Amino acid sequence: MLTVDFSRFPLAPGDRVLDLGCGAGRHAFECYRRGAQVVALDQNGEEIREVATWFAAMKEAGEAPEGATATAMEGDALALPFPDESFDVVIISEVMEHIPDDKGVLAEMVRVLKPGGRIAITVPRYGPEKVCWALSDAYHEVEGGHIRIYKADELLAKIREAGLKPYGTHHAHALHSPYWWLKCAFGVDNDKALPVKAYHKLLVWDIMKKPLATRVAEQALNPLIGKSFVAYATKPHLPRLSENEADAK
């Protein structure tokens, strides 16, 4: 289940991609399938080992085109182990709401991104997330849980402040908002509640079968109750120095 829309976020074979806070690896796997040179990074060693296993399985099955590469590694989002301007593309999906120093993470992403490179950032959307917080303290008051709720204009302002130029936004996963409201209402750890179980079956069916009816319904509902807010931005090229300015340096 992808949150980044690759029709709005073009990816070329050979692009060097950082999936920052990759989690289970869903976006990293898609980039690998599209021929990118992918680095999937997360602080969770267990998840990174699982992602590495899947990368190996994808290579064995021939799911990635020739020239594509994939590496999974542990790392700290606030101290990325890469030189400046290392990546053409950076993806950070459902991560920034967990990190106290979100400006520091943005600064690190900008540092490792090449001029002209692209960033995709996804976070829980303000409205649906506010409902979850109101229904359940356990939803967010856990170690490593959500520590803030972003308003769209607040996130875009931070993106601009970091030196990036936003070029598009949208919402995603409207069908998942009611599921999380049910989870919060019946207990986030209570997967046996009948409404939660029934809705989960619906989501699994939708993900596996991709029926037209639910695709159309979600597209219609995304502007209203989409669970995620997605922003795309570029890192501007620095203006060229005139001969006089270059000589002065």
23, part of any domain: no
Residue 247 lies in a domain: no
What's phi and psi for 40, nearest 5 deg? -100, 120
Domain that holds residue 84: 76-173+227-235
pLDDT digits (tens, 9 = 90+) for 200-226: 999 999 999 999 999 999 999 999 999
Q: What is the 3-state secondary structure (H, E, C) of the chain?
A: CCCCCCCCCCCCCCCEEEEECCCCCHHHHHHHHCCCEEEEEECCHHHHHHHHHHHHHHHHHCCCCCCCEEEEEECCCCCCCCCCCCEEEEEEECCHHHCCCHHHHHHHHHHHEEEEEEEEEEEECHHHHHHHHHHCCCCCCCCCCCCCCCCHHHHHHHHHHCCCEEEEEEEECCCHHHHHHHHHHHCCCCCCCHHHHHHHHHHHHHHHHCCHHHHHHHHHHHHHHCCEEEEEEECCCCCCCCHHHHHHC
Report the pLDDT value the prediction gives residue 247, as an integer from 0 to 100. Answer: 53
Q: What pLDDT digit, counting tens, does each position of 228-245 carry?
A: 999 999 999 876 545 555
Residue 180 structure tokens: 């999380």
Strands 87-93 and 113-124: parallel
pLDDT band, residue 144 (cuts 50/70/90): confident
Tens-place pLDDT, residues 62-99: 999 999 999 999 999 999 999 999 999 999 999 999 99
User: Could you count the other beta carbons within 10 Å of the beta carbon of residue 246?
Assistant: 9
Cα-to-chain-centroid distance, residue 226: 15
> Residue 240 has what pLDDT?
59
pLDDT of the residue at 141: 86
Tens digits of residue pLDDT in 113-128: 999 999 999 999 999 9
Number of domains in the chain: 1
Asked whether residue 145 is domain-assigned, the answer is yes
Q: What is the mean pLDDT of residues 22-26?
A: 97
109 located within any domain: yes
Q: Does the pLDDT value for residue 248 go beyond 90?
A: no
Please report the pLDDT score of residue 238 as a whole number.
74
Contact 85, 114 (CB under 8 A): yes
Does the pLDDT value for residue 34 go beyond 90?
A: yes
Percent of the chain at pLDDT exceeding 90: 91
**Pairing state between β 16-20 and 37-42:** parallel
- Domain contains 114: yes
Q: How many CA atoms lie within 13 A of 12 on its CB side?
A: 6
Note the pLDDT of residue 246: 45
Task: Evaluate whether residue 115 is within a structural domain.
Answer: yes
Question: Can you tell me the mean pLDDT for 103-118?
Answer: 98
pLDDT of 192 strictly over 80: yes
Tell me if 4 is assigned to some domain.
no
Q: How far apart are CA 202 and CA 148, in angstroms?
A: 29
- Looking up tokens 């590496």, which residue turns up? 71
Q: Residue 110's pLDDT is what?
A: 98
In a domain, 124, yes or no: yes
The CATH number covering residue 140 comes to: 3.40.50.150
Task: Give pLDDT, residue 239.
Answer: 67
Query: pLDDT band for position 142 (50/70/90)?
Result: confident
> Residue range 6-27: average pLDDT?
97
Q: Name the pLDDT band for 145 (thresholds 50, 70, 90).
A: confident
**Average pLDDT taken over every residue of the chain:** 94
Which whole-number Å values give the CA distances from 71 to 51, 53, 55, 100, 210, in the listed order? Answer: 9, 10, 8, 27, 30
Place of tokens 């000589």: 247
Separation between Cα atoms, residue 69 and residue 71, nearest integer Å: 7
Q: What's residue 243's pLDDT?
A: 53
The pLDDT assigned to 15 comes to 98
